Structure 1
Amino acid sequence: MSDLESSPALAPIAQRAAAPATLPGITAGGLGWRPATIDDAPALLELRNAVAEADAEPYREVLGEITDLFEAPWRHFDTDSLLGVDADGVLRAYGVVESLPGDTRTVRVMLLGGVHPQRRGEGIGRELFAWQVARGRQVLASCGRELPARLAVFAEDDGPAAKVRMFARAGFTDRRFYADLRRDLRDLVAEPLPDIEPDGLRLVRFGPEHDEATRLAHNDAFRDHWGSEPHTPAQWTNGRTELVPHWSVVVVDDAPDVAALLADPDTDAETAASLRAGEPLVVAYALNERFDADFAVRGYSFGYTGILGTRRAYRGRRAAPAALVAGLRAMAADGMEFGCLGVDTANPTGAHGLYARLGYTRAYGSRMLSIEL
């Protein structure tokens, strides 16, 4: 938790955001600028992958991931995006400002963007980033939520130092660090996975019937994680292009103590309503993805555990470790060479010890830089 998040009193968000009345223009590079539309998805994919290759980022995207961005109802590309196009109509730079509808503890605005490697060194990125920061401040000022606020950017540890320097000049500082881990699955005889059974709970393959219950479990599990905010139903289901349901596992309590959970002050209102309605109670989950476009970049095939967690009332019952291991076995059965996941280096649940015991080792690192308001 940041100092601002624990502060008993804050100035009004419109005052803290210090939003400019007008947005700065972008003249560097002689590009034409306009908002992005879904018709730009193929060109945006090409640009983003060119940026990722130039910056030695350990991933590439596919078209479905880009179209998913445009399908989210909370993204406002008409006001919160810019594309820089050259005289030949080729996309050379992009910037996106994104705010998230589910934020209840800290209002976050994420700034995403890049410049084609052939057009770097002309000042385009610096001016585009100034526009993004200014627009981000406007979004915060008009959000109507009197909460701590954050402008955030992300950078790979092995990425270009010039990008981090640009962020620093704009007032962004290192706020959080993340590690991308991997577990070798090529020889489970020599390096076996442990047999883990959840205590009094049932492992189930993830399916549509578990989706909403898993969202509620995730919102509960991550309430005490720094920087995490609740997922609305729309946020939860967006970006599922690479999800592999038969690799994904949930843990269900078939006989929950409903009275005790309803009496628990930590039980949120949505979970309470679900319990009263007799809906299934998902208590842990491991939702896993497959990013085939990344295999050549990393040099191996892998499955990726996108989200993993346990309801706070069910920690210590081996629920999430059981789901994680079941997912790893499913990946291995499909020929994946590694299982990967990302973790906050300051994770409060002791996850690092679990991952080390399961044989995970660090592969990549990244960081979040922010301005806290």
Structure 2
Amino acid sequence: MTENTHPEPAAIPENAERTEPAAIPENAERTETRSLRERLGPPGTVAEPRHPDVEVWRPATVDDIDAMMDLAGAADRVDHPTWLTPRDEFEELFELSHIDPARDTRLGFHTDGSLVAMAGILAHPSQDEHVYAYCTGRVHPQWRRRGIGREVVRWEYQTAQTAIAETDAAATELPGAIYLYAHEPDVGARALGEQLGMVEERWFTTMLRDLSQPIPDVEIDLPIVPFTLELSESTRLARNDAFRDHWGSLETPAERWERMVTGTHFRVDLSRVVLDGDRVVAFALASVNEDDWEVQGYSSAYIEYIGVTRDHRGRRLAPAVMTASLRAIRDAGLDKANLDVDTESPTGATSLYTNLGFEATDREVAMVARF
């Protein structure tokens, strides 16, 4: 989930208890030999968010999911009005083993008991090559431009630093990074990221395909079959191999993958894979959130993952498996398919999707601080 806050540009308070190191550009040559923990500084106590309009800040609990959904729905309709955050993304905060809600979340309540802001981080569980954490908070549209978002981002950034510093991997020289995703028009969130030393490193485009238009047939010499749960682990391994050379991508661990493919919105019947023997070598995996249809004005499926293992590239497997999934989505009676793509994908994905009839709609930027 690419969630972000939308506050007005403002400086980080001078009395913040931690000092943020400057971001290191991705293309900078690294000569650093200190451990990641030494570069970050020791784990510290992060000051709780503070704002005169917010009476209580506390960690989220399972009982807060409905209120969090209400706030997310209000924010989504302003920030990206063609899709809504699924409930699964809040439920997993209390179900995945690598998330600690007491450490990783804060909810801000007004004196009348209404939820006005959510602050959160997600520390990625894969830490073999990089140590990443993501800022995931947001502010209710009615409470923006008051400085609440500034506190949300400040708390998230410092909590992410602490979470990274507390990992076992922080004792090594591995690189670390904090990510903040912001939609292109959201100049407030982007300004706050810049004030923290974050750099706009990468852009992602949402693309939409009208399924009433003809879908081409792409012939390949390997079988394309529907995804099944029996193929789940082979597909996970294929996903991790296919995305190993993609910007910002880390391996998806078994726990998180299992939750996705058995989740409420994942559609086994709309997903397709290519087999070489009993091994999955290409995939197009789809989900459907029917709540999106109301705000979109049409029915749709979202292509979660499209990829080809590196040893099978150059054989037209990507367009073949993609068109197979598109036909399944069309035959299920849905109007459109959408996806998100890295504009600088090393596999030329943007050109692939354009050639298959997808059209760009909006963009999102990834802001990064590297350590």
* Equivalent position amino acid for 2:317 in 1: A
Among 83, 103, 122, the residue aligned to 2:127? 103
Is 1:35 paired with 2:62?
Answer: no
Percent identity, aligned pairs only? 34
Task: Give CA deviations for 1:285-310 in whole Å, capped at 9, x if unaligned.
Answer: 11011122222323322111100101
Is 1:176 paired with 2:202?
Answer: yes
Is 1:237 paired with 2:237?
Answer: no
Using structure 1 for the length normalisation, give the TM-score: 0.87
2:362 corresponds in structure 1 to 364
Separation (CA, whole Å) in 2 of partners of 1:367 and 1:93? 22
1:24 corresponds in structure 2 to 47
* Equivalent position amino acid for 2:176 in 1: A
Is 1:164 paired with 2:190?
Answer: yes
Q: CA deviation at 1:185?
A: 0.8
The 3-state SS of whatever aligns with 2:269 is: helix
Task: Give CA deviations for 1:203-255 in whole Å, capped at 9, x if unaligned.
Answer: 1100110000000001111111111111110121234331111100011112x
Q: CA deviation at 1:359?
A: 1.1
Whether contact under 8 Å (2:93, 2:101) holds in the other structure is no
Separation (CA, whole Å) in 1 of partners of 2:78 and 2:69? 14
Whether contact under 8 Å (2:206, 2:339) holds in the other structure is yes
2:78 corresponds in structure 1 to 54
Is 1:114 paired with 2:138?
Answer: yes
Is 1:316 paired with 2:339?
Answer: no
Structure 1 residues 14 and 217, CA gap change in structure 2 (3 angstroms): same
1:283 corresponds in structure 2 to 281
Q: CA deviation at 1:59?
A: 1.5
Using structure 2 for the length normalisation, give the TM-score: 0.87
1:296-307 to 2 correspondence within 5 Å? 296-307=294-305
2:110 corresponds in structure 1 to 86
Separation (CA, whole Å) in 2 of partners of 1:202 and 1:43? 46
Separation (CA, whole Å) in 2 of partners of 1:217 and 1:24? 42
1:332 corresponds in structure 2 to 330
Q: CA deviation at 1:40?
A: 0.9
* Equivalent position amino acid for 1:108 in 2: Y
Whether contact under 8 Å (1:102, 1:230) holds in the other structure is yes
Separation (CA, whole Å) in 1 of partners of 2:209 and 2:192? 34
Separation (CA, whole Å) in 2 of partners of 1:9 and 1:213? 37
The 3-state SS of whatever aligns with 2:93 is: helix
1:263 corresponds in structure 2 to none
Q: CA deviation at 1:142?
A: 1.4
Task: Give CA deviations for 1:136-180 in whole Å, capped at 9, x if unaligned.
Answer: 11111111212111111101113x322221222222220110011
Separation (CA, whole Å) in 2 of partners of 1:56 and 1:315? 33
Whether contact under 8 Å (2:54, 2:108) holds in the other structure is no
1:153 corresponds in structure 2 to 180
Whether contact under 8 Å (1:248, 1:287) holds in the other structure is yes
1:133 corresponds in structure 2 to 157
Q: CA deviation at 1:8?
A: 5.8
Is 1:12 paired with 2:20?
Answer: no
Task: Give CA deviations for 1:53-94 in whole Å, capped at 9, x if unaligned.
Answer: 233443113434421332211111111110111223221111
Q: 5+ residue gaps in structure 1?
A: 255-279
2:249 corresponds in structure 1 to 228
* Equivalent position amino acid for 2:187 in 1: A
> Aligned Cα RMSD in Å?
1.8
Whether contact under 8 Å (1:171, 1:371) holds in the other structure is yes
1:257 corresponds in structure 2 to none
Among 333, 347, 350, the residue aligned to 2:348? 350
Among 215, 218, 223, the residue aligned to 1:193? 215
**Would you identify which runs of 4 or more consecutive aligned residues in structure 1 move more than 3 Å?**
6-10
1:262 corresponds in structure 2 to none
Whether contact under 8 Å (1:222, 1:309) holds in the other structure is yes
Structure 1 residues 330 and 83, CA gap change in structure 2 (3 angstroms): same
Among 266, 274, 278, the residue aligned to 1:251? 274
* Equivalent position amino acid for 1:113 in 2: G
Is 1:66 paired with 2:64?
Answer: no
Separation (CA, whole Å) in 2 of partners of 1:110 and 1:215? 22
Structure 1 residues 31 and 121, CA gap change in structure 2 (3 angstroms): farther
* Equivalent position amino acid for 1:124 in 2: I
The 3-state SS of whatever aligns with 1:250 is: strand
The 3-state SS of whatever aligns with 2:314 is: coil
* Equivalent position amino acid for 1:135 in 2: T
Structure 1 residues 62 and 304, CA gap change in structure 2 (3 angstroms): closer
Q: 5+ residue gaps in structure 2?
A: 1-24
1:265 corresponds in structure 2 to none
The 3-state SS of whatever aligns with 1:336 is: coil
Is 1:208 paired with 2:229?
Answer: yes
